[in-house]
Structure 1
Amino acid sequence: MTIRLHTQFDTLPAIVFDGSPLRIEQIVQLAQGEARAELSRDPGFRARIQRGAGFLDRLLAEDGVVYGVTTGYGDSCTVEIPPALVAELPHHLYAYHGCGAGRYLTPQETRAVLACRLASLCQGYSGVSVALLEQLEVLLMHDVLPLIPAEGSVGASGDLTPLSYVAAVLCGERAVWWRGEEHATADVFRTLGIRPLRLRPKEGLALMNGTAVMTALACLAWMRSAYLAELGTRLTACNVVASAGNGAHFDATLFAVKPHAGQQTVAARLRHDLLTDAPARNPQRLQDRYSLRCAPHVLGVLEDALPFLRAQIENELNSANDNPLIDPDAERVLHGGHFYGGHIAFAMDSLKNAVANVADLLDRQLALLVDTRYNHGLPSNLSGAQGARSAINHGLKALQISVSAWTAEALKLTMPASVFSRSTECHNQDKVSMGTIAARDALRVLELTEQVVAAMLIAARQGVALRRRLDNSVALSPALAAWHEDLCGRIALIEEDRALDHELQQLLIAIRARAWSLYAS
């Protein structure tokens, strides 16, 4: 029996797991420690879960043949398991899959993985016991986080290797992250009074033969991408002002005749941020360069993709995706391939492409801002130095180089992972999704793009201030004025050269905490 201790999550709002649909935002709340997971106490829900386990028990008693229960796994499905050894089989599954490598998933990523696996098993088609679901709840309740190596999944049959670390921890084995340190799972279980689970037949497969890792990473990636779309728009507005650009490029009538909804949303946000009825301040150039004029067309691709990608991710989140599935009502065993992560693979390959294009857009905007040939009167490299000291100060020269490097790396990672299917496991898994690799790629592209955005926050603070120094009649919309004032409070004007790495890190923290509320939904 588990000893119920008070935890830091007790006062948080509960997200109830009962098989009802969950949203990306709820998984992110759990991942960030802003909510707590609570397994439904509803008797009907628990009876449905238990019916699946009971049906399997009866089937085994009647000498039924069930893949992964009375047979070996994968290509070994023709190997019959002697009845006396059936109970040991689930533990062998997670034992031999303990071969992951690479970095460990972060605490936020790991909480999301546990929540995604619990959500899938709560659909009631996996033949697991209520005790297994309760053990997952306990890990989330006490923030006992399996140390999960990020690498080793081909995305079918699901995330076998990384999820083996979840299965092993439920059984009191391997290692966990708890209270800020790495511990042996057995030691933490003894401290908390948690009894190690003994997996029932099929429960090893139910835990491991699914898409929880890729789906968890996809939920986190989606949320970060949605915020970057807004930040990219606000930064573009700042760069239009700094460049003495033309707000009329975002005219409502103009965008009404190319009715991509996301593109129209971006244009509307730019109109909100800019005083679009003010005359363009650059009479020498009728049209701004593409990175400003076509910003809604670039950012709009991401905006238009987000609703579609949400649907794919949330469908996967709320699905039963192991194999075989158990229909507890009709008492059928259904052998299929729902562990295949193709939808997440496609979603993440698409997302990383759209996000990397945001990095590229902002990189091009910065290249215009720092260059006296194109920035319409701003000082070289947006340096704030004046007089004789301007000769030895270099402004954002090095920052622009770093932005270019981060952008190039992000663009390099847009090669789709899903096209690199490999035949594995004696050609049983001969077409695989690579969904987890695509999700990890997307997170790396996001990380790089957030670094670009952090640099562009410095450039926005600098560029708008320098434009207003040149022309004190430049007016800002209330939204842009308030936001620029906030930036000025975070970043001092760069007049004398200084290292910017600390400020970049602080801005990254603010970006990932979604520190600014930018546009009404």
Structure 2
Amino acid sequence: MHPADLKNPLRTVTFDQGRLTIEDVVDIATASAQVALSDAPAFRAAITRGADFLGRLLREDGTIYGVTTGYGDSCTVNVPMELVPDLPHHLYTYHGCGLGELFSPAQTRAIMAVRLASLSKGYSGVSVGLLEQIARLLQADLLPLIPSEGSVGASGDLTPLSYLAAVLCGEREVWRDGVKVPAAQALADAGITPLRLRPKEGLAIMNGTAAMTALACLAYDRAEYLMRIATRITALSSFALDGNAHHFDATLFSVKPHAGQQQVAAWLRTDLPAHDAPRNEKRLQDRYSIRCAPHVIGVLADALPWMRQSIENELNSANDNPIIDAENERVLHGGHFYGGHIAFAMDSMKNAVANVADLLDRQMALLVDSRYNHGLPANLSGVEGPRASINHGLKALQISASAWTAEALKLTMPASVFSRSTECHNQDKVSMGTIAARDCLRVLQLTEQVVAALLISVRQGVWLRCKVDPAAQPQQQLQAMMDALAADIAVVQEDRMLEPDLRLLLDRIRVKHWQLYE
């Protein structure tokens, strides 16, 4: 969707040397914000100063890595001055070897925004014209077709970002209004002149962590909402199972001071107000998937703040090589393209998220099993009388939820430990950050599918609990959630195909349809 097609006015994310947030990237990715490059004279002067210094150094010294030399282990190969202008274009050309599914339009917008943010720091030796070209593409919603596979995460996301570099120069293909179009045609139609990259600009575009960081921003946004909806589902599961709200007592949680875990318990207390003392007829302790839910969801809740810090620090970094220190007139050779912080955050996030999937899958197993659901029908079937024998309720849905959970758990193997020595042992220790981020997004997708299954289950379970025990009534917040679910999905009485319900609920999850725990 082109931002201009939206009826509501969009906020503007301005790119300069200031700090951006995960939310800025997510809003650009979802076309909820438009992009502007700062017109501030000081900002544009800082960018120009780096490009000018690099140009002067090239004229005076004649030897600059990636400008007058080959790349990586080819840094000992000197490039004749007459061929220097061709070198950046060769860099993106030979890196055009990506495979796998294409990044989605939202992911591609995020990648472009993250790369623009890094180059805007003023330490990459690029021209203002290059920054303007990326901004123009975002403003026109012309999105490079970027294959998702082929990056080892150092020297950054070279292969994925080569597709951005090529499109800036009018090569390869773009998405335009959901249709694949040759970049040259799309740029011409939009009145955009293809770039001829200046020395180091190809390296500056490609040698960085933009793809993995962009995916990490999108993953964080989904994980934060998943943490909230898993808490609400736990409250509904506890109610449906006639659970004990005293498991979430404030004093109980005060003695184990993990702030995120305490927050989850506090949210559960708002959903499940406890009496002064446990009802005598209730069992003393619920099973772990209910009683220990704050301890499972709380791990994700407590991890999110440091994950945000790592992701936003990477987002707001200059992360190519070499770094151009124009103020002190130095070229600094380093390894800022290494995506270790993103790799670790994504490996950690997928682990915490998959544990939430497993928790919810265990809750569903209790809900559908008449041995453990405290008086509810087997498989939460809503049919009574003779037809009950041919109806199977949520039996198959529980099987599917377990399949999605198993796949999510399988993907928790950390990608960051699988470093490979590449590029003639120049890149002999690499981050695998982009693989970790892609894995994390897949785990999030699978966990959201488990969430959708649980939403059907708790909607059914609460409805049945109220039938079995008319005195049991959800308090206001849970009833509001039940009403919202009822607007989308009917209770399951006669067996029916549940895929349409699941897909609708997934759409709701991905747009954060339900406001949870303000």
Q: Please say whether Structure 1 and Structure 2 have the same fold, judged by a TM-score greater than 0.5.
A: yes
The residue number in structure 2 matching 1:249 is 247
Cα distance, 1:11 vs. partner? 3.7
Cα distance, 1:189 vs. partner? 1.1
Structure 2 contact 91–202 (Cα < 8 Å) conserved: yes
Structure 1 contact 229–303 (Cα < 8 Å) conserved: yes
Moved segments of 4+, more than 3 Å: 5-11, 278-282
Q: Does 1:28 align with 2:21?
A: no
The residue number in structure 2 matching 1:80 is 78
The residue number in structure 2 matching 1:266 is 264
Q: Which runs of structure 2 are paired with 1:357-396 in the superposition (5 Å)?
A: 357-396=355-394
Q: Which runs of structure 2 are paired with 1:42-121 in the superposition (5 Å)?
A: 42-121=40-119
Cα distance, 1:283 vs. partner? 2.5
| Residue 513 of structure 1, aligned match among 492, 511, 514 | 511
The residue number in structure 2 matching 1:413 is 411
The residue number in structure 2 matching 1:8 is 5
- Cα displacement string for residues 11-35 of structure 1 (whole angstroms, at most 9, x for unaligned residues): 4111100110000011000000000
Letter in structure 1 aligned against 2:314:
E
Structure 1 contact 244–280 (Cα < 8 Å) conserved: no
Cα distance, 1:281 vs. partner? 6.3
Q: 1:280 to 1:364 in 2, by over 3 A?
A: farther
Cα distance, 1:7 vs. partner? 3.7
Cα distance, 1:280 vs. partner? 5.2
The residue number in structure 2 matching 1:402 is 400
> Using the alignment, how far apart are the partners of 2:281 and 2:360 within structure 1?
24
Structure 2 contact 208–336 (Cα < 8 Å) conserved: yes
Structure 2 contact 111–214 (Cα < 8 Å) conserved: yes
Q: Which runs of structure 2 are paired with 1:113-512 in the superposition (5 Å)?
A: 113-277=111-275, 283=281, 285-512=283-510
> Using the alignment, how far apart are the partners of 1:178 and 1:114 within structure 2?
15
Structure 2 contact 361–450 (Cα < 8 Å) conserved: yes
Letter in structure 1 aligned against 2:99:
A
The residue number in structure 1 matching 2:39 is 41
Structure 2 contact 340–433 (Cα < 8 Å) conserved: yes
Cα distance, 1:257 vs. partner? 0.2
> Using the alignment, how far apart are the partners of 2:119 and 2:97 within structure 1?
24
Cα distance, 1:275 vs. partner? 2.1
Structure 2 contact 121–318 (Cα < 8 Å) conserved: yes
Structure 2 contact 3–31 (Cα < 8 Å) conserved: no
Q: 1:434 to 1:6 in 2, by over 3 A?
A: closer
> Using the alignment, how far apart are the partners of 1:292 and 1:505 within structure 2?
26
% identical equivalent positions: 67
- Cα displacement string for residues 29-70 of structure 1 (whole angstroms, at most 9, x for unaligned residues): 000000001000001100100000000110011133211011
Q: How many equivalent residue pairs?
A: 516
- Cα displacement string for residues 334-384 of structure 1 (whole angstroms, at most 9, x for unaligned residues): 000000000000000000000000000000000001001100000000010
Structure 1 contact 245–281 (Cα < 8 Å) conserved: no
SS of the equivalent of 1:417 reads: coil
Structure 1 contact 22–317 (Cα < 8 Å) conserved: yes
> Using the alignment, how far apart are the partners of 1:195 and 1:7 within structure 2?
21
> Using the alignment, how far apart are the partners of 2:280 and 2:346 within structure 1?
40
SS of the equivalent of 1:418 reads: coil
> Using the alignment, how far apart are the partners of 1:284 and 1:519 within structure 2?
28
5+ residue gaps in structure 1?
none
- Cα displacement string for residues 132-161 of structure 1 (whole angstroms, at most 9, x for unaligned residues): 000000010000000000000000000000
Structure 1 contact 245–282 (Cα < 8 Å) conserved: no
Cα distance, 1:240 vs. partner? 0.3
Query: Which moved further from structure 2: 243-252 or 55-64?
Result: 55-64
SS of the equivalent of 1:194 reads: coil
The root-mean-square deviation of aligned C-alpha atoms, in Å, is 1.3
SS of the equivalent of 1:55 reads: helix
Structure 2 contact 248–269 (Cα < 8 Å) conserved: yes
> Using the alignment, how far apart are the partners of 1:518 and 1:222 within structure 2?
17
The TM-score, its normalising length taken from structure 1, stands at: 0.98
Structure 1 contact 421–432 (Cα < 8 Å) conserved: yes
Cα distance, 1:167 vs. partner? 0.1
> Using the alignment, how far apart are the partners of 2:281 and 2:89 within structure 1?
74
Structure 2 contact 3–32 (Cα < 8 Å) conserved: no
> Using the alignment, how far apart are the partners of 1:315 and 1:129 within structure 2?
24
Cα distance, 1:282 vs. partner? 8.1
Q: 1:121 to 1:362 in 2, by over 3 A?
A: same
> Using the alignment, how far apart are the partners of 2:3 and 2:484 within structure 1?
39
> Using the alignment, how far apart are the partners of 2:505 and 2:143 within structure 1?
28
